[in-house]
Structures are given as structure tokens and as C-alpha cells.
Amino acid sequence: MSANIGRKPTLLEALIVLLLSAAFIGAGVLHWEVSVHIPIVVAATLAALVGRFVLKRPWSDIEEGMINGIMMAMQAILILYIIGMVIGTWIPGGVVPSMIYYGLSILNPSVFLLTALLICSIVALSTGTSWGTSGTVGIALMGIGAGLGIPAPVTAGVIISGAYVGDKMSPLSDTTNLAPAVAGTDLFQHIRAMMWTTGPTYLIVCVVAVVFGMKYAGGSLDAAKIAAIQSVLSHEFDISLLGFVPPILVIGLCVAKCPAIPGLLAGVFAGGIMALVNGYGIGDVLSFTLDGYSATLAGEIANASDMNAVAKLLADNNIVGLAPELAKEVGSMLNDLLTRGGMMSMANTIALITCALSFGGIMERCGFLEVVLEAILKVVKSVGGLVTSVIVSCFLCNLFLGDQYLSIVMPGRIFKNAFEWKGLHARMLSRSLEDCGTLSSVLIPWNTCGAYNSGVLGVKTVEYAPFAILNWLNPLVAIAITYMGIGISWKGKEGEPVIARTKPANL
């Protein structure tokens, strides 16, 4: 490294910065119970001060690292805004309410979790986007799960497991194309290699979904509550099978390889047209697109002062046979579920992403995490140790850099020569990058994926993480089967390893 841009940190310096950053962020979230935004800013300030005054890097270089970190997520930020617009039009357009209404009619707790897992897997596999899956059908499934009496964190965890396995295995996904490009293999070899780790994990998650479904089916199905939800929905929205047209349109465009942004914008326009057909004015639709929808009937019931007021609202809206107490409970649930959407609803999430990626850009530019990863690589002796090191490194990148793309690119760049030297096929590296880099991102509150899914599904990351079983189990399965000697791919013919001529300097 040339003198004018400073020096690399020592391992001790890097560890001090990492540990202090982790300690302050952890204390902010767990002890002081504040939003993670400012603790991340403080951690970023610490890293920048060390970079500037200890490593002697010029401020212009550190600032460039921050900006580059944010720029990597500009497409994701645009998609976030558009997803907010989608939600803001799909609710008053009757899209989400119709999906909830009909879903409650055909599903029951014993099959709901497995069905939700399969639906999200298929949609994400077809479209290549876990974000789009969570932000569309995921919201409807959250409403159905609530109506069936299933805890929100459980439903969210299953939705995320399905969305991410579909995204991970889809040839249309950006990360599924990024990982083999970084590792030096082709797309379909990469997908075949992931079957060794993702296949068994998915089967386990399916079994868990069935077992959990049987657990919730043990209680009696609250038919009165489901009928109450459907009654309030049908009196506030126009419920129709036409509500399925916008999501089918978006899925069809994605399957036809339409880029994500125009495909989602088509969903916004389709939702807006549905809202116009349902009686809203153009000004209303534009307002929903910016500020989101606020529940009317459900909101009035939820905020009613007493049961007499609730009874009057029911009478005024010709809702008969519904007890005021049950109406109050259902109104509160639907008000929380359906008062959302709009571009502005994503402001908090985008602010968090900006803070996290600024921190990540400083960490990457100053080399703090790279030094630690290189130290890990020096002690690797076996294939199992190499795969484990990649998985741990991907998790650390997700933790400290705040973005799943960086968690694939950085470990891929650092470990590529090591895989070549040991004679392993490049698809072993690409598989390992996705097994943790893609999947663990959604388990971290300040990561772009964790922040997005928490905001869209309305469940805190730490609450749904235990139930996003595929996302934390897949990396463990990948490590286990590698140590068992299963699914290891070597370079060369008939399994014979081809050892690279030159050993990497960091091995």
C-alpha cells in the first residue's frame, strides 16, 4: 500500500476496532434499548478516527469508502421505495385484503405454515427476489397467520425461510449470479452444488413446518374470529378475485426476465388502477403512494372509546352478528396490519441502511475486516476448515459491513486462491458464499436485508430470527456435510484433485 493512502491495520488494531464496535452496537440495542442507527454511527466514527489518525489514511479516501459503500445499495434503496409504493396501493386497491380474505377461507393452522413456506419458495424461485416476495405475498400471509392464531414471529420466520431459499436457488437472483462470478464458476454448476446443502436443509424445514402446524392445529379453529376478520375486511374493501391480478402481473414480468424495478413499478400502477376502480380519486392514490394507507373502519373500531361506540360503528356499517368485544380485537389487529405502505414508510429503514453501509464502507476501505479474514485463513488446514472459514467470514461481513453483496464479494476475493491451491472446484466456494452470505444477512437487524424484512413484515429481527430456521440451519448443515466428506467437489476429472502450482501467500 502506497504511503499517501496510509497503511493496513495490524491484527490487534483490527480486532480492537471490531470488538469495540460490536460492544457498542450490542449495548445500544440490548442494554440501552435504543434504535441501532446512532450506535452504528458511533461505531463508524470510531473506525474513521482510527483510519485517519492511526492508519494515516486521508479523509478523502475514507469518505470515498463511505460513499462507495452506500452506492452499492442504491438499487436496493430504489427497490425499497418502490416496495413501499406497492404496499401503499395494493392495500386500498383490495389486493392484500382479498388475499387475506380468501386465504382465511381455504387455509387452516395445520397446513398454513407448510403452505406459506412452499408459496414463498415458489414465488421467490420464479421471480428471483426475496424482497419482492416478503413485501407482497408475505404481507398477505402475515394477515392470514394472524387470523389463524399463529404468532407473528413464527409466520415471519417461515415466510423468510421460503423467500430466501427460493431466491438462493433461482437463476434470476442477483446473489445467485454474483457468487459464481466472484468464485470463478458458472451459474448452473453453482446451483447444482447448492443442492447438497440446501436440499437437506429445506427438507428439515418442511418437517418442522408440519410439526409446528400440528402444534397450532391442536387448539380449536376460531371460526368466529375468522368470520369477524372477513366481515370487517369486506366492509372496508372491495374483495374480489381481481385482487390477484397485480401480484400475478408482477410475478409474470419477473419470470419473463423483466428487471426488478420496472416489474415492481408495473405492480404499483396495477394497484393504483384497482384503487381507482374501487372508488378512490387520483389524489387519494397519489397520497397512498407517498404516505401509505390508513385503515378507516378497522381504525375507527380499534380507536373507539368503549364498547358502546364499537356497537354504534357496527350498526352504522350494517355489520350484524358481531360482538363488540371481538370486533374491537379484530379491528386492532387489522389496523396494525393494514395501516402501512408508501414511500415514506421506508425512510427509517433506508436511514438504517445508509448508516450501516457507511460503517461498512469505512471498515472495508481501512482494511479492518480483511486483516481478520486473512488471519483466519492462515490457520486453515482441512477442507472442512476452509468451508467453515468462508461461512464465518460471510457472517462477519454481514455483521460489520451491513450488506449481503459485500459478504459475498469480500470473502470470495480473499478465499478464491486458497480453494484453487487445495484443488477444490470453484463451485465449492460459490456454494459456501451463498450458504451464509445470502442467508444470514436477514438475521442481523442493521443489515440491509434484516432492516427491510423487519420493516415490511412488522416483526423485529430478533423475534423472527429463531423461526427463520433455514437461514441459520443451512450454514450449519454446510459445515457438517463437508466434515463428513459429502458433496465435496474437486477440480479435474473423476474426482482427482488438481493442485495449483503456487501456494497463496496467506496460506
Residue with the larger pLDDT of the pair 206 and 69 = 206
Q: What distance in Å separates the CA atoms of residue 39 and residue 29, rounded to the nearest whole number?
A: 8
Residues with Cβ within 8 Å of 428's Cβ and at least 6 positions away in sequence, in order, are 193, 387, 419, 488, 489
Q: Which residues pair with 340 in a beta bridge?
A: 293
Q: Are 369 and 410 in contact (CB under 8 A)?
A: yes
What's the pLDDT band for 297 if we cut at 50, 70, 90? very high
Predicted confidence (pLDDT) per residue in 260-275, tens digit: 889 899 999 999 999 9
Q: If we measure between CA atoms, which residue out of 131, 195, 161 comes closest to residue 430? A: 195
Residue with the larger pLDDT of the pair 423 and 76 = 423
pLDDT of residue 89: 96
Q: What is the dihedral of CA 414, 419, 420, 426, to 10 degrees?
A: -100
pLDDT of residue 126: 82
Q: Is residue 381 part of a domain?
A: no
Q: Looking at residues 88-100, what average pLDDT do you find? A: 95
Cell numbers representing residue 504 in the block? 497463496
pLDDT of residue 4: 67
Q: Is residue 333 part of a domain?
A: yes
Q: Are 467 and 475 in contact (CB under 8 A)?
A: no
Q: Looking at residues 317-322, what average pLDDT do you find? A: 92
Task: For CA atoms 325, 327, 329, 331, give the dihedral sign.
Answer: negative
pLDDT of residue 378: 86
pLDDT of residue 503: 53
Q: Looking at residues 70-81, what average pLDDT do you find? A: 85
Q: Is residue 315 part of a domain?
A: yes
Q: What distance in Å separates the CA atoms of residue 312 and residue 202, rounded to the nearest whole number?
A: 50
**Confidence check: pLDDT of 329 > 70:** yes
Predicted confidence (pLDDT) per residue in 164-180, tens digit: 999 999 987 889 999 99
Q: Looking at residues 379-404, what average pLDDT do you find? A: 92
**Confidence check: pLDDT of 494 > 50:** no
Q: Is residue 16 part of a domain?
A: no
pLDDT of residue 499: 39
Q: What distance in Å separates the CA atoms of residue 430 and residue 169, rounded to the nearest whole number?
A: 12
Q: Give the CA count within 13 Å in the CB-facing half-sphere of 206.
A: 12
Above pLDDT 70, what percent of the chain? 95
Predicted confidence (pLDDT) per residue in 39-54, tens digit: 999 999 999 999 999 9
Q: If we measure between CA atoms, which residue out of 132, 232, 226, 118 comes closest to residue 174? A: 132
Predicted confidence (pLDDT) per residue in 180-231, tens digit: 999 999 899 999 999 999 999 999 999 999 999 888 876 556 788 899 999 9
Cell numbers representing residue 418 in the block? 486458497
> How many structural domains does the chain have?
1
pLDDT of residue 77: 87
In one letter, which amino acid is 162?
A: G
pLDDT of residue 2: 43
Q: Are 469 and 206 in contact (CB under 8 A)?
A: no
Q: Are 481 and 435 in contact (CB under 8 A)?
A: no
pLDDT of residue 53: 96
Q: What distance in Å separates the CA atoms of residue 268 and residue 477, rounded to the nearest whole number?
A: 39
pLDDT of residue 240: 94
- 7-21, 66-80, 401-415 — which one is most confidently predicted on average? 7-21
Q: Looking at residues 112-119, what average pLDDT do you find? A: 95
Q: Is residue 388 part of a domain?
A: no
Q: Are 481 and 416 in contact (CB under 8 A)?
A: no
SS3 assignment, position 340: strand
**Confidence check: pLDDT of 341 > 70:** yes
Residues with Cβ within 8 Å of 169's Cβ and at least 6 positions away in sequence, in order, are 125, 176, 191, 194, 198
Q: Is residue 34 part of a domain?
A: no
**Confidence check: pLDDT of 291 > 50:** yes
Alpha carbon 459 to its chain centroid, in Å, reads 12
Predicted confidence (pLDDT) per residue in 451-464, tens digit: 999 999 999 999 99
**Confidence check: pLDDT of 102 > 60:** yes
Mean pLDDT, the chain, whole residue set: 91
Residues with Cβ within 8 Å of 363's Cβ and at least 6 positions away in sequence, in order, are 17, 47, 369, 400, 401
Q: Is residue 416 part of a domain?
A: no
Alpha carbon 166 to its chain centroid, in Å, reads 12
Cell numbers representing residue 202 in the block? 429445506
pLDDT of residue 496: 43
Please return the burial class of 256, using the count of CB atoms within 10 Å of its CB with bins 0-12, 13-18 and 19+.
exposed
| Dihedrals phi, psi of 52, to nearest 5 degrees | -75, -45
Q: If we measure between CA atoms, which residue out of 227, 224, 235, 222 comes closest to residue 313? A: 235
Q: If we measure between CA atoms, which residue out of 256, 282, 285 comes closest to residue 268? A: 285
Q: Give the CA count within 13 Å in the CB-facing half-sphere of 374.
A: 15
Above pLDDT 90, what percent of the chain? 71
The domain containing residue 316 runs over which residues?
A: 294-339
**Confidence check: pLDDT of 493 > 60:** no
Q: Is residue 312 part of a domain?
A: yes
Residue with the larger pLDDT of the pair 35 and 334 = 334
Q: Looking at residues 361-374, what average pLDDT do you find? A: 92
